[in-house]
Amino acid sequence: MKKNNYTSSKNRNGNPNANRVSNVSSGPIGKKKDYAKVNGGVFVYTKPISVGDLSKAINVPVSEIIKFLFMQGKAVTINQLLDDDSLGEVCLEFGYDFRKEKVVDAAHFEEIEIFDDEKDLKPRPAVVTIMGHVDHGKTTLIDAIRNSHIVDSEAGGISQEIGAYQKEVNGKKITFIDTPGHAAFTAMRARGASVTDIVVLVVAADDGVMPQTIEAIDHAKAAGVPIIVAINKMDKAGANPRRVEEELMAHDVISEAYGGDVIVVEISAKKGTGIDDLLDMILLKAEMLELKANPSRYAIGTVLEAELDKGVGPKATLLVQNGTLTNADFVVVGETYGKIRRMTNEHRQVVKSAGPGTPVAVIGLSSVPSAGDRFMAFPDEKQARAVAEKRALEKQEATRAGSAAMSLSDLNNLINAGKVKDLNVVVKADSDGTAQALKTNLEKMSNDTVKIHVLTASAGAISDSDVLLAEASHAIIFGFNVRPDARVRQMAEEKGVEIHLHKIIYELLDEMEAALKGMATVEKVEKVTGQAEIRTTFKISKVGTIGGSYVTSGTLRHGEKVRLIRNGVVVYEGALGSLKRYKDDVKEVKEGYECGLTIDGYNDLKEGDIVEGYEMVAKED
């Protein structure tokens, strides 16, 4: 596709040769466009299209299209939006080639390729996120950095208004983003936001690599962000930095001392030692990355956080990534817009402008955006409103069209179409040894058609962090002898993330092998019917252990297949024995009700256990 180099006649400073993103448009905003047409036997489209609209475009009766798709195992209606694969199948069946093109205009500013003149580019601050395991000193390090190099000009000292701040070191600025952890980091990436330039991974010298350390590494690698390791707590008696470096090697984080390219700095955030060295290494890495931006264009960037302030209304923290944001700009943020009424920095100081790499808190938006939403500044309210309305409409259509997440069915269709594809996988198992074994076997299955990348393989329950990682990386989750809870399962369904659960290793590997061979099969798949949490237990002679339970989702039925889940790991599978409400035997108990239950052949029930009912149903893969 031809690249578009967008320029304007004038930028903020009157430079007639500078680029200006806000003038980008393939046509007048709001003007009706032909989103699909036939050109020389090629059906060209730019967004999801319904069966009815496709029928008109290629002059094929709706009934014929519906009939064809039904024969392919896809039941559709006249108003249903078709995914790319189904649309392509219909076109080829009725003698058309097809091509999808991107609409490149101001309403799709995330997709615009920005071309700046080299003379307009200036060095910008590196954007750094600090990640690591709980209690390894992330917060202490953030405080230590914030306290270092304090000067009188920094009014308000270390008090912060927003969840991001800048430090000036040796005349150069570094932007730090406060984040609750790797889950938030990846949630932003899942929304298309590429914010962080460098990740500082904090590892305690007396504790070593822990589960959240590994998760942070996996999330940083999936985002393609370079890592600097800060080995913290060097003041502790049991500090052993060499052991930490050796443990990191097992996760392909190899320090310079061992022949790798990862910078490692030994620090004590509590004592304040090594902080200057860490800041110097961040500047060194930033210099190697050659981070530059054009401060002369209208601003474009990302929402770091947002909230509804009772006093001032919608309030958002924005990170300017290119251009300069002023307090007179109109901005489109996600699907909302507004005129900036006030802009403040991390010290609550009112500022009139913010250049590349600068975080600011703004008020004036019409509604609260979401973290990870992209924003762009516009010269007038009319254009900003039109762009926001168009984006909101397209988001609704995209939601109806479904998620872009990868599935084994998608993989099957791509293979049958002869398209090479990378497949990202998240593996969770009941033990680390099993997880690593699955990782090794899955990666060995890569062939000339599909390359399998295991993003992370670890022990424990499938969590919301795993779902976020899978969503951001278009990955599939494989679980072995572990389960997601109802909340995580619902989250996965909403985000279109596919979870495949197994209790026999060869079945998991056989499923992947069949998908890699492009073999769609009709098989029995599991459907969860309900879950209940055991909140107390009673031991009764001749009966066994009764679990006093609360049904948290779905319905539990007497005699159905159930599994007992403890800390996300399946410990037993069997049948639901007695089911009582008060003293009465009942056939089923629905969500929101309490009950007493037993599991046939198993008495080791404990408080906090989850009883999950399920059935096997036929489903076409």
**pLDDT of 414 strictly over 70:** no
Same domain, 271 and 148: yes
Confidence of residue 224 (pLDDT cuts 50, 70, 90): confident
Same domain, 510 and 538: no
Nearest to 568 by CA among 465, 453, 441: 465
Same domain, 272 and 341: no
Q: Is the dihedral of CA 22, 26, 31, 35 positive or negative?
A: negative
Confidence of residue 261 (pLDDT cuts 50, 70, 90): very high
**pLDDT of 264 strictly over 50:** yes
Ranges 190-194, 245-249, 350-354: which has the least confidence = 190-194
Confidence of residue 114 (pLDDT cuts 50, 70, 90): low
3 lies in some domain: no
115 lies in some domain: no
Note the pLDDT of residue 373: 83
Nearest to 338 by CA among 351, 329, 348: 329
Q: Output the six-digit token pair for 553.
A: 């989702």
7 lies in some domain: no
Q: Output the six-digit token pair for 195.
A: 């914010």
Domain harbouring 571, CATH code: 2.40.30.10
Q: Evaluate whether 595 touches 549 at the Cβ level (below 8 Å).
A: yes
Domain harbouring 491, CATH code: 3.40.50.10050
Confidence of residue 567 (pLDDT cuts 50, 70, 90): confident
* CA 460/CA 435 separation, integer angstroms: 10
Of the residues 520, 545, 577, the one at which a domain ends: 520
Residue 100 has a CB neighbour count (10 Å cut-off) of 14
* CA 267/CA 255 separation, integer angstroms: 15
Note the pLDDT of residue 290: 93
Same domain, 363 and 453: no
- Give the residue-averaged pLDDT of 266-277: 93
114 lies in some domain: no
303 lies in some domain: no
Domain harbouring 216, CATH code: 3.40.50.300
**pLDDT of 158 strictly over 50:** no
Three-state secondary structure call for residue 341: strand
Q: What is the pLDDT of residues 60-94, one digit of tens each?
A: 999 999 999 988 888 888 888 888 888 989 989 88
Same domain, 335 and 420: no
Same domain, 455 and 587: no
Q: What is the pLDDT of residues 452-503, one digit of tens each?
A: 889 888 888 898 888 888 888 888 999 998 888 888 888 888 888 889 888 8
Same domain, 243 and 380: no
Same domain, 489 and 551: no
Note the pLDDT of residue 368: 86
Helix or strand run (H / E) with residue 183: helix 182-190
**pLDDT of 32 strictly over 50:** no
* CA 329/CA 352 separation, integer angstroms: 10
Ranges 4-13, 158-167, 207-216, 480-489: which has the least confidence = 4-13
Note the pLDDT of residue 446: 84
Which of the residue ranges 137-151, 177-191, 550-564 has the most confident prediction, judged by mean pLDDT? 550-564
Same domain, 131 and 265: yes
Note the pLDDT of residue 80: 85
Q: What is the pLDDT of residues 358-379, one digit of tens each?
A: 999 999 998 888 878 889 898 8
Confidence of residue 125 (pLDDT cuts 50, 70, 90): very high
Note the pLDDT of residue 319: 92
Same domain, 375 and 450: no
Same domain, 515 and 548: no
- Give the residue-averaged pLDDT of 387-398: 74
* DSSP 8-state code for residue 410: H
551 lies in some domain: yes
* CA 402/CA 312 separation, integer angstroms: 36
Same domain, 92 and 60: yes
28 lies in some domain: no
* CA 228/CA 265 separation, integer angstroms: 8
The whole domain housing 443 covers 408-520
Note the pLDDT of residue 324: 94
Confidence of residue 177 (pLDDT cuts 50, 70, 90): confident
Rounded to the nearest integer, the mean pLDDT of the chain is 81
pTM of the model: 0.61
Q: What is the pLDDT of residues 3-22, one digit of tens each?
A: 333 333 335 544 433 333 33
Q: What is the number of domains present in the chain? A: 5
210 lies in some domain: yes
Residues sharing a CB contact under 8 Å with residue 185, sequence separation 6 or more, in sequence order = 129, 131, 179, 196, 199, 219, 220, 223
Ranges 38-42, 437-441, 467-471: which has the least confidence = 38-42
- Give the residue-averaged pLDDT of 122-127: 94
**pLDDT of 309 strictly over 70:** yes
Nearest to 580 by CA among 614, 540, 616: 540
Of the residues 520, 548, 573, the one at which a domain ends: 520
What are the Cα distances from residue 287, in Å, to 139, 259, 276, 280?
A: 26, 21, 16, 11
Of the residues 381, 400, 419, the one at which a domain ends: 400
- Give the residue-averaged pLDDT of 506-529: 73
Confidence of residue 391 (pLDDT cuts 50, 70, 90): confident
- Give the residue-averaged pLDDT of 201-214: 91
Amino acid at 76: V
Note the pLDDT of residue 524: 59
